[in-house]
Amino acid sequence: MQEIAAIEMGKATAALDHRVRRAGHGAKVSAALLVAPLLLFVIVAFAAPIAAMLARSVTDQEVAPVLPRTLEALRGWNGTALPDDAAFAALVEDLRAARAAGTLPVAAGRLNHDRAGLRTTLIASARRLAAPFEGSAREAVLRADPAWGEVETWGAIARARGPWTDFFLLAALDLRRDAAGEIIAVPEEKAVFRTVFLRTFWIAALVTAITLLAGYPLAALIALGPPRLAASLLFAVLLPFWTSLLVRTAAWMVLLAREGVVNHALVALGLFGAPQQLLFNRFAVVIAMVHILLPFMVLPLYAVMRQIPPIHLRAAASLGAPPVSAFRRVWLPQTLPGIGAGCLMVFIQALGFYITPALLGGGADQMLPYFIGFYANQTVNWGLAAALSLLLLAATLAIVGLYGRLVGFGAVRTA
């Protein structure tokens, strides 16, 4: 009887386990089906377009369909001298076919990003070589445009072979490949992006440091102050969230103008004898960014500080610790998670600022997002815009990864 009871009990337990597993599996499937529409929307509307844009930084597909014979003739070319006659003959055939098909401007625009003037060279040469000519193809091409007598002109075509390329990524680092395929630095007068990268990170770091210095005592006052004062200050901190970024930036343009409130106050206080130029410089960019990003520093600090028992400071004082020592050894270490979260949030957002530097800064104050917008919208060089975006994204992920490695995301507290 006992054996039969044990067997029946085992069967009941197995059946119960099976029902529990089926119920758990059904719950997982139901949860997945509920999340699936949102996940699909995120992939289609957000992740896929970004991935497609970033892919342009490493793909090169504009020239190969237009100049296939020329690229095939250049396959074994070493880039140290002009190619052989077969390459010149292939170029003539490609230019005639592309002009008839109307596809030449696509390739010409891409090659012009590599070597200025190639757009004009290709379109003019196609027009001049459309009619039959006497003599060799080499002589006819060189007569059509002297640029074909330069090795770098052919090197630009060879570099656009595709389908993968490092041209845009190298250009974003002020580097390029010569006709022989060696990586070299661009001329000094054309090297701008490394300076822009350093400027972007310097402004972001400066804004982060100022917001920390300004936000730390404000967060402490909100956390430790009387309830009515704390509520008023917290409302003042949250108020900018209800105002458009563009409106806040425009407000700083009014405040910092030569006839604005700040200049009038400085003159009235006798600090300056005449209105100062406070707009279109680094000062205007930094002060506006600090104002806009200050809440992102205060809120994480406040979230951590309000959870620190006030008795800790009183205990330190009762043990004879002076205020500075009590702050340094008791209060500050407990606020480090808030400092880390605030600095990370402010720094990453500052890296992506576009409107504020564009409206308040001068030519030497523009950050990397400005150049991404410039190449995407004005010069329509999407490959370079994507390469700059990819490098900025990689740098941001590296910073986040370094923070997670050194501090750990478990220590981050924002609420």
**What are 51-108's pLDDT values in tens digits?**
999 999 999 999 999 999 999 999 989 999 999 999 999 999 999 999 999 999 999 9
Q: What is the CATH number of the domain that holds 208?
A: 1.10.3720.10
Question: Is residue 341 assigned to a domain?
Answer: yes
Q: Which residues, in sequence order, are bridge partners of residue 175?
A: 185
| C-alpha–C-alpha distance, residues 300 and 412, integer Å | 9
**Cα dihedral 130→135→137→140 (10° resolution):** -60
Q: How many separate domains does the chain show?
A: 3
Question: Is residue 380 assigned to a domain?
Answer: yes
Q: Would you state the pLDDT for residue 373?
A: 93
Question: Is residue 61 assigned to a domain?
Answer: no
Question: Is residue 59 assigned to a domain?
Answer: no
Question: Is residue 288 assigned to a domain?
Answer: yes
Domain boundary among 141, 161, 188: 188
Same domain membership, residue 297 and residue 214 = yes
Residues 46, 375 contacting (CB under 8 angstroms)? no
Q: What is the pTM (predicted TM-score) of this model?
A: 0.86
Same domain membership, residue 26 and residue 151 = no
pLDDT mean over 117-125: 94
Question: Is residue 53 assigned to a domain?
Answer: no
List phi, psi (to 5°) of 59.
Answer: -115, 150
Same domain membership, residue 169 and residue 73 = yes
Residues 293, 207 contacting (CB under 8 angstroms)? yes
Q: DSSP assignment, residue 184?
A: E
Same domain membership, residue 206 and residue 102 = no
| C-alpha–C-alpha distance, residues 250 and 393, integer Å | 28
| Residue 254 in this model has a pLDDT that exceeds 80 | yes
For residue 162, give the nearest of 68, 254, 251, 64 by alpha carbon. Answer: 64
Q: Would you state the pLDDT for residue 294?
A: 95
| C-alpha–C-alpha distance, residues 169 and 178, integer Å | 15
| C-alpha–C-alpha distance, residues 354 and 84, integer Å | 49
Residue 149: give the domain boundaries.
68-188
Same domain membership, residue 144 and residue 18 = no
Helix residue ranges per DSSP H, 43-181? 48-55, 68-73, 85-101, 104-114, 118-128, 137-144, 151-159, 167-172
Same domain membership, residue 23 and residue 147 = no
Same domain membership, residue 310 and residue 181 = no
Domain boundary among 173, 188, 203: 188
Same domain membership, residue 246 and residue 130 = no
| Residue 117 in this model has a pLDDT that exceeds 60 | yes
Same domain membership, residue 353 and residue 334 = yes
The fraction of the chain above a pLDDT of 70, given in percent, is: 92
Question: Is residue 222 assigned to a domain?
Answer: yes
Domain boundary among 138, 156, 188: 188
Question: Is residue 181 assigned to a domain?
Answer: yes
Same domain membership, residue 164 and residue 238 = no
Same domain membership, residue 359 and residue 298 = yes
CA atoms within 13 A of residue 135's CA, in its CB half-sphere: 8
| Highest mean pLDDT of the ranges 37-41, 49-53, 265-269, 384-388 | 384-388
Same domain membership, residue 87 and residue 14 = no
